[in-house]
Protein backbone atom coordinates (compact mmCIF):
# COMPACT_ATOMS: atom_id res chain seq x y z
CA UNK A 1 0.00 0.00 0.00
CA UNK A 2 1.35 3.41 -0.90
CA UNK A 3 0.35 6.83 0.36
CA UNK A 4 0.89 10.05 -1.49
CA UNK A 5 2.04 13.07 0.46
CA UNK A 6 -0.91 14.51 2.40
CA UNK A 7 -1.17 17.14 5.13
CA UNK A 8 -1.41 15.52 8.57
CA UNK A 9 -4.55 17.45 9.47
CA UNK A 10 -6.49 16.47 6.33
CA UNK A 11 -6.78 13.11 4.58
CA UNK A 12 -4.12 11.47 6.75
CA UNK A 13 -6.29 12.13 9.80
CA UNK A 14 -9.08 10.19 8.10
CA UNK A 15 -6.68 7.28 7.61
CA UNK A 16 -5.74 7.45 11.31
CA UNK A 17 -9.44 7.47 12.22
CA UNK A 18 -10.13 4.30 10.21
CA UNK A 19 -7.03 2.43 11.37
CA UNK A 20 -7.47 3.23 15.06
CA UNK A 21 -11.05 2.05 14.94
CA UNK A 22 -9.80 -1.21 13.47
CA UNK A 23 -7.21 -1.49 16.25
CA UNK A 24 -9.61 -0.92 19.13
CA UNK A 25 -12.57 -2.80 17.71
CA UNK A 26 -15.07 -0.09 18.58
CA UNK A 27 -16.06 3.36 17.41
CA UNK A 28 -13.78 6.14 18.56
CA UNK A 29 -14.74 9.79 18.39
CA UNK A 30 -12.67 12.18 16.32
CA UNK A 31 -11.58 13.84 19.59
CA UNK A 32 -10.22 10.50 20.88
CA UNK A 33 -8.37 9.94 17.59
CA UNK A 34 -6.81 13.39 17.79
CA UNK A 35 -5.76 12.63 21.38
CA UNK A 36 -4.07 9.38 20.33
CA UNK A 37 -2.35 11.26 17.52
CA UNK A 38 -1.06 14.00 19.86
CA UNK A 39 0.27 11.57 22.47
CA UNK A 40 2.68 9.63 20.25
CA UNK A 41 6.26 10.86 20.85
CA UNK A 42 7.37 10.11 17.29
CA UNK A 43 4.33 11.91 15.93
CA UNK A 44 5.39 15.15 17.56
CA UNK A 45 8.65 14.99 15.61
CA UNK A 46 6.88 14.49 12.29
CA UNK A 47 3.86 16.75 12.80
CA UNK A 48 5.27 19.86 11.07
CA UNK A 49 5.94 17.95 7.83
CA UNK A 50 4.02 15.59 5.52
CA UNK A 51 3.79 11.82 5.59
CA UNK A 52 5.11 10.55 2.28
CA UNK A 53 4.68 7.18 0.60
CA UNK A 54 5.41 3.88 2.38
CA UNK A 55 7.82 5.30 4.97
CA UNK A 56 5.08 7.32 6.60
CA UNK A 57 2.73 4.35 6.61
CA UNK A 58 5.32 2.08 8.20
CA UNK A 59 6.03 4.61 10.95
CA UNK A 60 2.35 4.92 11.65
CA UNK A 61 1.89 1.14 11.72
CA UNK A 62 4.70 0.86 14.27
CA UNK A 63 2.97 3.44 16.45
CA UNK A 64 -0.33 1.57 16.20
CA UNK A 65 1.47 -1.64 17.19
CA UNK A 66 2.94 0.16 20.19
CA UNK A 67 -0.54 1.34 21.19
CA UNK A 68 -1.87 -2.23 20.86
CA UNK A 69 0.87 -3.50 23.16
CA UNK A 70 0.11 -0.83 25.79
CA UNK A 71 -3.60 -1.60 25.71
CA UNK A 72 -3.07 -5.34 25.91
CA UNK A 73 -0.86 -4.88 28.96
CA UNK A 74 -3.40 -2.69 30.77
CA UNK A 75 -6.71 -4.37 30.02
CA UNK A 76 -9.16 -5.66 27.45
CA UNK A 77 -9.35 -3.32 24.43
CA UNK A 78 -12.84 -4.61 23.61
CA UNK A 79 -14.33 -3.18 26.83
CA UNK A 80 -14.58 0.33 25.43
CA UNK A 81 -16.43 1.86 28.39
CA UNK A 82 -13.63 0.79 30.79
CA UNK A 83 -11.04 3.10 29.16
CA UNK A 84 -10.06 6.75 29.34
CA UNK A 85 -8.04 7.26 26.19
CA UNK A 86 -7.84 11.00 25.61
CA UNK A 87 -4.78 11.57 27.74
CA UNK A 88 -4.32 14.74 29.75
CA UNK A 89 -7.78 16.10 29.14
CA UNK A 90 -10.66 17.18 31.39
CA UNK A 91 -13.19 14.57 32.50
CA UNK A 92 -16.42 14.89 34.44
CA UNK A 93 -18.01 12.75 37.13
CA UNK A 94 -21.47 12.37 38.61
CA UNK A 95 -22.41 10.69 41.88
CA UNK A 96 -25.37 8.71 43.13
CA UNK A 97 -25.39 9.61 46.85
CA UNK A 98 -27.78 6.83 47.87
CA UNK A 99 -25.32 4.15 46.74
CA UNK A 100 -22.17 6.33 47.09
CA UNK A 101 -21.27 5.34 43.54
CA UNK A 102 -19.18 7.52 41.24
CA UNK A 103 -19.80 7.48 37.50
CA UNK A 104 -17.16 8.79 35.07
CA UNK A 105 -17.66 10.00 31.53
CA UNK A 106 -14.98 8.17 29.58
CA UNK A 107 -14.99 10.96 26.99
CA UNK A 108 -13.53 14.40 27.79
CA UNK A 109 -15.64 17.42 28.72
CA UNK A 110 -15.16 21.09 28.24
CA UNK A 111 -16.10 23.07 31.34
CA UNK A 112 -18.96 24.60 29.39
CA UNK A 113 -20.29 21.16 28.42
CA UNK A 114 -20.12 19.97 32.01
CA UNK A 115 -21.87 23.10 33.27
CA UNK A 116 -24.71 22.44 30.82
CA UNK A 117 -25.03 18.76 31.75
CA UNK A 118 -28.46 17.85 33.12
CA UNK A 119 -28.20 14.86 35.47
CA UNK A 120 -31.10 12.49 36.22
CA UNK A 121 -33.00 12.57 39.48
CA UNK A 122 -31.02 10.92 42.25
CA UNK A 123 -27.64 11.98 40.83
CA UNK A 124 -25.53 15.08 41.42
CA UNK A 125 -22.51 16.54 39.69
CA UNK A 126 -19.35 15.70 41.61
CA UNK A 127 -16.85 17.75 39.63
CA UNK A 128 -14.32 17.82 36.84
CA UNK A 129 -10.58 17.37 36.72
CA UNK A 130 -7.72 17.12 34.27
CA UNK A 131 -6.40 13.58 34.05
CA UNK A 132 -2.76 13.08 35.02
CA UNK A 133 -2.57 9.72 33.24
CA UNK A 134 -1.89 9.18 29.56
CA UNK A 135 -4.05 6.06 29.56
CA UNK A 136 -6.31 4.51 32.21
CA UNK A 137 -8.40 1.35 32.46
CA UNK A 138 -10.91 0.22 35.07
CA UNK A 139 -10.91 -3.57 35.42
CA UNK A 140 -14.43 -3.81 36.87
CA UNK A 141 -17.07 -1.76 38.65
CA UNK A 142 -16.98 -1.69 42.48
CA UNK A 143 -18.60 -4.80 43.94
CA UNK A 144 -17.79 -6.92 40.91
CA UNK A 145 -16.28 -10.34 41.55
CA UNK A 146 -14.49 -10.70 38.20
CA UNK A 147 -13.04 -8.30 35.66
CA UNK A 148 -15.43 -7.29 32.90
CA UNK A 149 -17.25 -4.44 31.18
CA UNK A 150 -18.26 -1.66 33.55
CA UNK A 151 -21.82 -0.84 34.51
CA UNK A 152 -22.91 2.16 32.44
CA UNK A 153 -25.69 4.72 32.18
CA UNK A 154 -26.54 7.03 29.31
CA UNK A 155 -27.12 10.77 29.82
CA UNK A 156 -27.85 12.58 26.59
CA UNK A 157 -25.24 11.50 24.08
CA UNK A 158 -22.70 10.54 26.77
CA UNK A 159 -22.03 7.24 28.47
CA UNK A 160 -21.03 7.28 32.14
CA UNK A 161 -19.32 4.25 33.66
CA UNK A 162 -19.56 3.25 37.33
CA UNK A 163 -15.92 3.33 38.38
CA UNK A 164 -15.63 3.99 42.13
CA UNK A 165 -17.23 4.01 45.56
CA UNK A 166 -15.63 6.30 48.18
CA UNK A 167 -15.49 5.42 51.86
CA UNK A 168 -15.49 7.71 54.92
CA UNK A 169 -12.62 10.23 55.08
CA UNK A 170 -9.77 9.91 57.56
CA UNK A 171 -9.85 12.51 60.36
CA UNK A 172 -7.14 15.01 61.27
CA UNK A 173 -6.21 16.62 57.93
CA UNK A 174 -6.51 20.24 56.81
CA UNK A 175 -6.48 21.28 53.17
CA UNK A 176 -6.64 17.70 51.93
CA UNK A 177 -9.35 15.04 51.99
CA UNK A 178 -7.90 11.55 52.54
CA UNK A 179 -10.24 8.63 52.06
CA UNK A 180 -10.44 5.02 50.83
CA UNK A 181 -11.89 4.59 47.34
CA UNK A 182 -13.02 1.22 46.10
CA UNK A 183 -11.97 1.01 42.47
CA UNK A 184 -10.03 -1.33 40.17
CA UNK A 185 -7.80 1.09 38.33
CA UNK A 186 -4.80 0.62 36.01
CA UNK A 187 -2.98 3.75 34.86
CA UNK A 188 -0.07 4.52 32.54
CA UNK A 189 2.31 7.48 32.27
CA UNK A 190 4.37 7.85 29.09
CA UNK A 191 8.14 7.79 28.93
CA UNK A 192 9.71 11.24 28.74
CA UNK A 193 7.27 12.88 31.13
CA UNK A 194 8.24 14.35 34.48
CA UNK A 195 5.64 13.46 37.10
CA UNK A 196 5.23 14.12 40.81
CA UNK A 197 5.36 11.20 43.24
CA UNK A 198 4.04 11.79 46.74
CA UNK A 199 5.02 10.14 50.02
CA UNK A 200 2.37 10.50 52.74
CA UNK A 201 4.96 9.93 55.44
CA UNK A 202 4.34 6.17 55.32
CA UNK A 203 7.19 5.30 52.94
CA UNK A 204 4.79 4.37 50.10
CA UNK A 205 4.42 6.02 46.70
CA UNK A 206 1.29 7.83 45.55
CA UNK A 207 0.99 8.69 41.86
CA UNK A 208 -0.87 11.70 40.43
CA UNK A 209 -4.45 11.13 39.33
CA UNK A 210 -5.94 14.57 38.64
CA UNK A 211 -5.02 18.24 38.48
CA UNK A 212 -7.39 21.20 38.18
CA UNK A 213 -10.13 19.45 40.19
CA UNK A 214 -13.23 21.65 40.35
CA UNK A 215 -16.72 21.39 41.76
CA UNK A 216 -16.33 18.56 44.28
CA UNK A 217 -19.04 19.12 46.90
CA UNK A 218 -17.67 20.09 50.30
CA UNK A 219 -14.16 20.90 49.04
CA UNK A 220 -13.45 24.65 49.05
CA UNK A 221 -10.88 25.54 46.35
CA UNK A 222 -7.52 27.01 47.39
CA UNK A 223 -4.65 28.38 45.32
CA UNK A 224 -1.84 26.66 47.19
CA UNK A 225 -1.22 22.98 47.84
CA UNK A 226 -0.15 22.53 51.46
CA UNK A 227 1.33 19.17 52.46
CA UNK A 228 0.65 17.80 55.94
CA UNK A 229 3.65 17.45 58.25
CA UNK A 230 5.89 14.57 57.20
CA UNK A 231 4.54 14.38 53.64
CA UNK A 232 6.77 15.08 50.64
CA UNK A 233 6.67 15.29 46.85
CA UNK A 234 9.51 14.47 44.47
CA UNK A 235 9.73 14.78 40.69
CA UNK A 236 10.66 11.80 38.52
CA UNK A 237 11.66 11.87 34.84
CA UNK A 238 10.28 8.67 33.35
CA UNK A 239 12.81 6.76 31.27
CA UNK A 240 10.15 4.28 30.12
CA UNK A 241 6.38 3.97 30.24
CA UNK A 242 5.18 3.60 33.83
CA UNK A 243 2.31 1.15 34.39
CA UNK A 244 0.64 1.19 37.81
CA UNK A 245 -2.07 -1.08 39.18
CA UNK A 246 -3.69 0.98 41.92
CA UNK A 247 -4.74 -1.20 44.90
CA UNK A 248 -8.36 -1.63 45.93
CA UNK A 249 -9.28 0.07 48.11
CA UNK A 250 -7.04 2.92 47.05
CA UNK A 251 -5.98 5.60 49.51
CA UNK A 252 -6.85 8.81 47.68
CA UNK A 253 -5.64 12.28 48.66
CA UNK A 254 -7.75 15.15 47.30
CA UNK A 255 -6.04 18.48 47.87
CA UNK A 256 -8.20 21.58 47.96
CA UNK A 257 -5.75 23.04 45.41
CA UNK A 258 -7.19 20.64 42.83
CA UNK A 259 -4.47 17.95 42.91
CA UNK A 260 -5.36 14.30 43.53
CA UNK A 261 -2.92 11.46 44.26
CA UNK A 262 -3.69 7.78 44.73
CA UNK A 263 -1.85 4.70 45.99
CA UNK A 264 -0.18 3.26 47.95
CA UNK A 265 2.23 1.49 45.58
CA UNK A 266 5.93 0.60 45.44
CA UNK A 267 7.51 2.13 42.33
CA UNK A 268 11.21 1.74 43.06
CA UNK A 269 11.92 5.07 41.32
CA UNK A 270 14.26 7.73 42.69
Q: What is the model's pLDDT at position 216?
A: 84
Q: Quick one: which of 128, 134, 140, 133 has its CA closest to 164? A: 140
**Quick one: which of 203, 178, 163, 165 has its CA closest to 256?**
178
Distance between CA 261 and CA 270 in Å, rounded?
Answer: 18
Residue 219 is predicted with a pLDDT of 78
Q: Running DSSP on this structure, what letter comes out for residue 53? A: H
**pLDDT for position 178:** 97
Residue 188 belongs to what H/E stretch?
strand 185-189
pLDDT string in tens for the chain (270-residue length): 333 333 344 444 444 544 555 444 444 454 554 454 444 433 333 333 344 445 555 555 555 555 566 667 788 989 999 999 878 999 999 999 999 999 999 889 999 999 999 999 999 999 999 999 999 999 999 999 999 999 999 999 899 999 999 999 999 999 999 999 999 999 999 999 999 999 999 999 999 999 999 988 777 778 799 999 999 999 999 999 999 999 999 999 999 999 999 999 999 987
CA angle 212, 77, 85 (to 5 degrees): 20
Q: For residue 70, what pLDDT is reported?
A: 63
Of 195, 82, 194, nearest to 148 by C-alpha is 82
Pairing of strands 158-166, 101-105: antiparallel
Closest alpha carbon to 214 in 129, 88, 131, 154: 129
pLDDT of residue 62: 54
Say if strands 152-155 and 158-166 run parallel, antiparallel, or are unpaired. Answer: antiparallel
pLDDT at 223: 79
Terminal Cα distance for the chain, rounded: 46
Quote the CA–CA distance of 57 and 6 in Å, as a whole number: 12
Amino acid sequence: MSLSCVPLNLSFMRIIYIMLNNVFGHTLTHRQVRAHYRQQPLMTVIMPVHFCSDSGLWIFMLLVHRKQQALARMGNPAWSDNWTLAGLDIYGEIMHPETRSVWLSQQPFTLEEYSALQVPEGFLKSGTGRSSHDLAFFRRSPGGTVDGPLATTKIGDRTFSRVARPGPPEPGFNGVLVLPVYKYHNVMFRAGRTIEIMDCGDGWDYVPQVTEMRGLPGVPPTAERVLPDGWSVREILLQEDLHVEVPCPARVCLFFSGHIFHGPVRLGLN
